[in-house]
């Protein structure tokens, strides 16, 4: 169940596996990660897309244990693995990288990581979410875990301001790219099929990210 690789700078040819990490609540069929999984597997790309335990009430320890299991068969692919994480999946990657102490992947794309203040979580956040925050922001661990790690965020996300997400990027010393007007970069905001992320995984597109074709902002 995994994806493909490339370099975002040169759009190299695909070939490595991809790991897709969903956020809290899991993903509905319309979600761009579901489309990504289908299109990549249809193209013959190996894709790891684990369904993390109890997404409606995520437990940090259980999620990280499940991610360790998902990464086990990919241990020999660390120099070719591409990771695409959304929302709480991106926050989970911060935790995973901080505890790994080794290379886990080649490229990592972290899409719309939320910013949750402990004690005042979003009203629609499921129970258990606060245990993921504040996430470890260890720049050396992130640099060690992957050759390239990038954040993509919007300027009207319900779960983080762009400034809050930029604070993650600044602390981690990684690039951040703005996808204007894209909200939480989810189906509610029109991000069902997202051709750019598929092409980026296949080595046919580069950063910065491109919006869905019918985006008006």
Q: Where are the domains of the chain?
A: 18-201
Q: Find the length of the chain.
A: 217
Structure token digits, residue 44: 């013959």
Please check whether the domain covering 18-201 is classified as CATH 3.40.50.1820. Answer: yes
**Which residues 6+ apart lie within 8 Å of 118 measured at CB?**
130, 133, 134
Contacts of 55 (CB under 8 A, 6+ apart): 22, 23, 24, 25, 26, 126
Give the model confidence (pLDDT) of 133-169 as tens digits. 999 999 999 999 999 999 999 999 999 999 999 999 9
| pLDDT tens column, 65-108 | 999 999 999 989 999 999 999 999 999 999 999 999 999 999 99
* Interval 31-55: pLDDT, tens: 999 999 999 999 999 999 999 999 9
Contact 7, 108 (CB under 8 A): no
pTM over 0.75: yes
- The chain-wide mean pLDDT, for the chain, equals 91
């Amino acid at each position: 169940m995994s994806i493909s690789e490339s370099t975002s700078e040169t759009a190299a040819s695909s070939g490595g596996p991809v790991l897709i990490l969903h956020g809290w609540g899991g993903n509905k069929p319309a979600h761009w990660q579901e489309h990504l999984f289908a299109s990549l597997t249809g193209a013959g790309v190996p894709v790891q897309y684990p369904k993390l335990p109890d997404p409606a009430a995520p437990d940090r320890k259980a999620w990280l244990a499940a991610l360790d299991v998902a990464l086990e068969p990919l241990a020999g692919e660390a120099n070719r693995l591409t990771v695409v994480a959304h929302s709480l999946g991106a926050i989970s990657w911060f935790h995973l990288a901080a505890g790994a102490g080794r290379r886990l992947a080649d490229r990592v794309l972290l899409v719309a990581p939320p910013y949750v203040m402990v004690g005042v979580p979003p009203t629609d956040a499921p129970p258990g979410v606060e245990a993921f925050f504040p996430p470890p922001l260890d720049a050396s661990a992130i640099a060690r875990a992957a050759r390239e790690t990038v954040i993509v965020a919007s300027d009207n996300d319900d779960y983080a301001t762009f400034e809050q997400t930029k604070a993650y990027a600044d602390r981690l010393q990684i690039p951040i790219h703005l996808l204007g007007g894209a909200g939480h970069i989810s189906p509610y905001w029109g991000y069902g099929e997202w051709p750019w992320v598929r092409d980026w995984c296949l080595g046919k597109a580069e950063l910065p990210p491109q919006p869905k074709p019918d985006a008006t902002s």
